[in-house]
Structure 1
Amino acid sequence: MSKATEFFAQRKEAVFWILAVLWMGFIFFMSAHTGSDLDQGTGLFAAIKASLEDFVARTVGLQTDVVSTLAHFAEYLVLGILLANALRLRTSADKAFLIAVLAGSLYGVTDEIHQIFVPGRLCDPADWLTDTLGCTLGALCLSALKRPQAKK
């Protein structure tokens, strides 16, 4: 491998890891807020949350809180994609998938512990399971997209 090729490969890997760490920071930020924090705001997150709650209220009913579950799932789906993408540059697709799922699930545990210290939030094992499932699907999707295609 030439020096230039190696330099760009290292740079690409660094960018992938930076994106994963930034996304983990976003998850941490969202975990430091409650749904009622977002209800009182006027920003993008408040608008998205209000739209989702309105949609759920019209289609499922007012008594369900699928918005939180969907948010956890989506956050960790993206995290699974980002982790698997960064890991695949140094290891096989299968190992990248497994490590991404384990790392994402472990981060979900720390996220739930973090929420113990946030007023209005709680540590919920069901949220951790949702996080792990989202991360698993994200890593699986990336593995499927990046797997070499068989030639016909």
Structure 2
Amino acid sequence: MPRHRSPAREALASQLGGCSAGPIRLGYGMRISRQALHDWLPSLLWMALIFSASNDAGSAQHSSRLFEPLIRWLFPLMVQARVDEIHYLFRKCAHLAEFALLAILVWRAIRHATPNRPPPWRWSQAALALLFVALYAASDEFHQMFIPGRCGQVSDVFVDASGGAIGLGLLWLVGKLRKRW
């Protein structure tokens, strides 16, 4: 069942050339509904950003150029080995955060694609979102094997999938605290 759109949105869409009418034609007989595009576009854009970042050879050196001076300024007496450990943890936390956000965006798209307005939280939708994130993490690590200066690691797939699980767990917790599900 399509979602209700306000008269103001319909008027705006008609002024923009009838943007709300019908599916978008992609060519070769492929079509996608505007609602599906609206639901999945944030996930796809975030995935493109992750792909772009993993395409960067030597990304550890790039973040180190920003991170190390900050640590040196905050803790001038810290030995280099400790700075390297903190930088490694920082990078892993960044992976957790980027895949947590991806899981939330994918969950949102899956939830919106479910017909008949489902309840706000379904474990099956969360599991599907987590599976999607884990598969994307595996494909990201596989992709990195072909980038000079990068190497795909199975442990990073687990870190990324854990980030997805943390994101979905936080989403569930926020919903519980707000008494939505």
Same fold (TM over 0.5): yes
Letter in 2 for 1:55: I
8 Å CA contact 2:96, 2:159 repeated in 1: yes
Cα deviation per residue 1:9-54 (whole Å; 9 max; x = unaligned)? x766532310001000000000001225636xxxxxx8xx714773
**Aligned counterpart, 2:83:** 62
Larger radius of gyration: 2
How far 1:138 sits from its partner (Å)?
A: 1.0
User: Aligned pairs, how many?
Assistant: 141
Cα distance between partner residues in 2 of 1:38 and 1:13: 36
CA root-mean-square deviation: 3.3
Deviation of residue 87 (structure 1)? 1.3
Question: Which structure 2 segments of 5+ residues have no match?
Answer: 10-32
1:95 shift after superposition: 1.3
For the pair 1:108 / 2:137, whether they are aligned, the reply is yes
Where do 1:1-152 residues align within 5 Å? 5=4, 14-33=37-56, 34-35=58-59, 38=62, 50-51=66-67, 54-55=70-71, 58=75, 61-64=82-85, 65-89=88-112, 90=114, 93-146=122-175, 149=179
Identity among equivalent positions (%) equals 25
Aligned-partner SS, 2:83: coil
Structure 2 Cα separation of the partners of residues 63 and 4 of structure 1: 50
Higher relative contact order (CA 8 A, sep 6+): 1
TM-score, normalised to structure 1's length? 0.75
Residue 6 of structure 1: CA displacement? 6.9
